[in-house]
Amino acid sequence: MRSSRHIKTQERRIIVVLLVALLSVQVVIYLVSTRTNRSIVEETISSSLQTTTQVVDELLELRQRQLAQGAAVLAADYGLKEAIATGERSTIESMLGNHGKRLKADIALLNTLDRQLIASVPRELQQADIAPLLKAAAQSARPDAQPVSLLRSQSGVLYQLIHSVVSMPTPQAELTLGFAIDDELAEALKQVTDTDFVFLSRGQNGAWQLHGNTLSSSFERLLGNPAALVDGAEWTLQDERDEYLMHSVALSNFNAQEASEVLLIAGKSLSQNMAAYERIERFQRYLLLASLGLSALVVVLIGRHLLRPLNTLAHQDPLTELPNRRVFDHSVASALAKSRSAPLALMMIDLDHFKQINDRYGHAAGDEVLKVSARRLRGLLRSIDMPARLGGDEFAALLPGLDRAAAIRLGQRIEDELSEPIAFSGQSLQVGISIGIAIAPEDGSTASELLRMADTEMYADKAQRESNPV
């Protein structure tokens, strides 16, 4: 039946809308939650990176003091002093090499107080590096010298320099040891702080040089974001395996020779720090799916036990279970829009003498007459036809495709069938039938015109029957 299909369609629409609304709310909550989690992690990492760079700054100063103690021990070595006194360069270089290896120094330089070279390790130390080393040694002796001294060598290596004076017993020479800032140092710092590090220096010509790196990203990828190579910059670095939150800090309390700037970049993996939250988010996804399933079940149950009765109440006459006037009017308008020039019949049916049955036998008898009449009417119509109760003892039928002659023949059958006696509590109840027929498009092209025409015909038929009783 059309009304049943209409009710089910409305029910499906309401269920779909409810499901979409529930899904949207839950997805929004999930997305807000994941975004909040990421923001918390980013804020935590950002604070941690700022603290870590300060710690590394202090660790480098601590390393400077520890290495200075080792250099002082070497400068106080009696054998070194004796070799200096005899001027045996090979012996001096051998001792510098042996003691430097013990201290893990990469280069060593011994010079006179007037900055004349005595010996160097390696012996083939580039001449271009000796002058900056001597200059760094001179600057370290100044009272306002920075706590950490660095040198970017001609070969591109960045050294942390340690200076000590060899006294015999008065000062006779200066000892300079260089410790490379490289991947090994970056890795050692990573083990202590659980943070990845990159050491960069910018030469006098403005070109950047990579010195130490614990990241898998290439140097070119690091240089791909010039805005990140600025003191205090915070940025993200995406490589093939992970995403990192990075913090750049210029080492400003260092005395750097042959470099205009030394940059320390610290970074932490977002995926590693998000791991705990990802477990929560995975659980949230499971809850989301379970919630959606439960919501779908609840919505369907609501549709069956709440929406369907409400829909039925809104679209169906509760006594006869026929479509009501609202559904009928909508169906007539819809049928007219679809049929265009095709014939369409509209039939109005009124039960004569119904009031007398109500008054004489009671409303229960009247209800029985209405229910039986509705059942008989439905039995006479096709599946594409729509019967309806418009109110009181008034019925109607929408008959697509019927012309006037066919509608009149059907009207006669309806009159014969509905006029048959109805048994109720041992009584035989009988009503008369008045019928009015309107045909579209002959009698009207709108629902109101057809209803008015059929209603007029029905009351004309009723008046004729009353004036000519059988």
Q: What is the pLDDT of residue 1?
A: 46
Q: Work out the pLDDT band at 439, boundaries 50, 70, 90.
A: very high
Give yes or no for residue 33 having a pLDDT over 60: yes
Question: How distant is the alpha carbon of residue 240 from its chain centre?
Answer: 22
Token code pair at residue 398: 């929408």
Give yes or no: residues 51 and 151 share one domain: yes
- State whether residue 295 is helix, strand or coil: helix
* Nearest-angstrom CA–CA distance, 212 and 221: 15
Give yes or no: residues 102 and 179 share one domain: yes
Name the pairing type of β-strands 158-167 and 261-269.
unpaired
Give yes or no: residues 121 and 239 share one domain: yes
Give yes or no: residues 246 and 155 share one domain: yes
Q: What is the pLDDT of residue 306?
A: 55
- The percent of residues in the chain predicted with pLDDT above 90, rounded, is 36
Strand partners, 213: 198
Give yes or no for residue 366 having a pLDDT over 50: yes
* Nearest-angstrom CA–CA distance, 423 and 411: 23
Give yes or no for residue 369 having a pLDDT over 60: yes
CA 44 vs CA 239, 245, 297, 444: distances in Å = 21, 11, 41, 76
Q: Work out the pLDDT band at 246, boundaries 50, 70, 90.
A: very high
Q: Print the domain residue range for 256.
A: 40-273
- What are the strands, taking DSSP E only, across 44-155? 107-112, 117-121, 148-152
Q: Is 286 inside a domain boundary?
A: no
Q: Work out the pLDDT band at 21, boundaries 50, 70, 90.
A: confident
Q: What is the pLDDT of residue 9?
A: 64
* Nearest-angstrom CA–CA distance, 161 and 150: 6
Q: What is the mean pLDDT of the chain?
A: 85
Span 83-124, pLDDT tens digits: 888 888 889 999 999 988 898 999 999 988 888 888 988 877
As a whole number, mean pLDDT of residues 14-32 equals 78
Give yes or no for residue 347 having a pLDDT over 80: yes
Higher pLDDT, 288 or 348: 348
Give yes or no for residue 410 having a pLDDT over 90: yes
Into how many domains does the chain fold? 2
| Residues 418/424/427/431 CA torsion (nearest 10 deg) | -20
Higher pLDDT, 222 or 160: 160
The residue type found at 155 is S
Q: Is 310 inside a domain boundary?
A: no
Residue 225: CATH number of its domain: 3.30.450.220
Higher pLDDT, 48 or 278: 48
Span 175-207, pLDDT tens digits: 999 999 999 999 999 999 999 999 999 988 888
Q: Work out the pLDDT band at 168, boundaries 50, 70, 90.
A: confident
Give yes or no: residues 258 and 363 share one domain: no
Q: What is the pLDDT of residue 42?
A: 87
Give yes or no for residue 242 having a pLDDT over 70: yes
**Under a CB-based contact definition with an 8 Å cutoff, are residues 56 and 197 in contact?**
yes
Give yes or no: residues 338 and 441 share one domain: yes
Q: What is the pLDDT of residue 17?
A: 77
Token code pair at residue 56: 């590394």
* Nearest-angstrom CA–CA distance, 430 and 438: 26
Cβ neighbours of 190 (radius 10 Å): 16
Question: How distant is the alpha carbon of residue 426 from its chain centre?
Answer: 72
Question: Which among 239, 273, 307 is the end of a domain?
Answer: 273
DSSP 157: -
Give yes or no: residues 85 and 146 share one domain: yes
* Nearest-angstrom CA–CA distance, 216 and 450: 82
As a whole number, mean pLDDT of residues 318-322 equals 89
DSSP 226: G
Give yes or no for residue 8 having a pLDDT over 80: no
Q: Work out the pLDDT band at 4, boundaries 50, 70, 90.
A: low
Q: What is the pLDDT of residue 259?
A: 85
Provide the sign of the torsion angle of the four alpha carbons 149, 150, 151, 157, taken in this order.
Answer: positive
Token code pair at residue 433: 């039938």
As a whole number, mean pLDDT of residues 231-243 equals 86
Give yes or no for residue 374 having a pLDDT over 90: yes
Name the pairing type of β-strands 254-257 and 196-202.
unpaired
Rg of the Cα atoms in the chain: 50
Question: How distant is the alpha carbon of residue 248 from its chain centre?
Answer: 29
Contacts of 44 (CB under 8 A, 6+ apart): 273
Give yes or no: residues 214 and 349 share one domain: no
Residue 407: CATH number of its domain: 3.30.70.270
Q: Is 180 inside a domain boundary?
A: yes
Cα diameter, the chain:
155
**Under a CB-based contact definition with an 8 Å cutoff, are residues 378 and 395 in contact?**
no
Which has the closest alpha carbon to 252: 49, 45, 60? 60
* Nearest-angstrom CA–CA distance, 448 and 464: 24
Give yes or no: residues 247 and 331 share one domain: no
Q: Is 315 inside a domain boundary?
A: no
Give yes or no: residues 206 and 342 share one domain: no
Which run of H or of E encompasses 398?
strand 394-400
Give yes or no for residue 466 having a pLDDT over 80: no
Q: What is the pLDDT of residue 196?
A: 93
Higher pLDDT, 339 or 285: 285
Q: Is 289 inside a domain boundary?
A: no
Q: Work out the pLDDT band at 311, boundaries 50, 70, 90.
A: low
The residue type found at 387 is P
* Nearest-angstrom CA–CA distance, 354 and 365: 10
Q: What is the pLDDT of residue 405?
A: 94
Q: Is 434 inside a domain boundary?
A: yes
**Under a CB-based contact definition with an 8 Å cutoff, are residues 137 and 126 in contact?**
no
Q: The sheet that has 344-352: what strands, in order across it?
A: 386-391, 394-400, 344-352, 432-440
Q: What is the pLDDT of residue 6?
A: 54
Provide the sign of the torsion angle of the four alpha carbons 420, 424, 427, 432, taken in this order.
Answer: negative
Give yes or no for residue 314 having a pLDDT over 80: no
* Nearest-angstrom CA–CA distance, 180 and 35: 42
Give yes or no: residues 134 and 255 share one domain: yes
As a whole number, mean pLDDT of residues 238-263 equals 86
Q: Is 115 inside a domain boundary?
A: yes
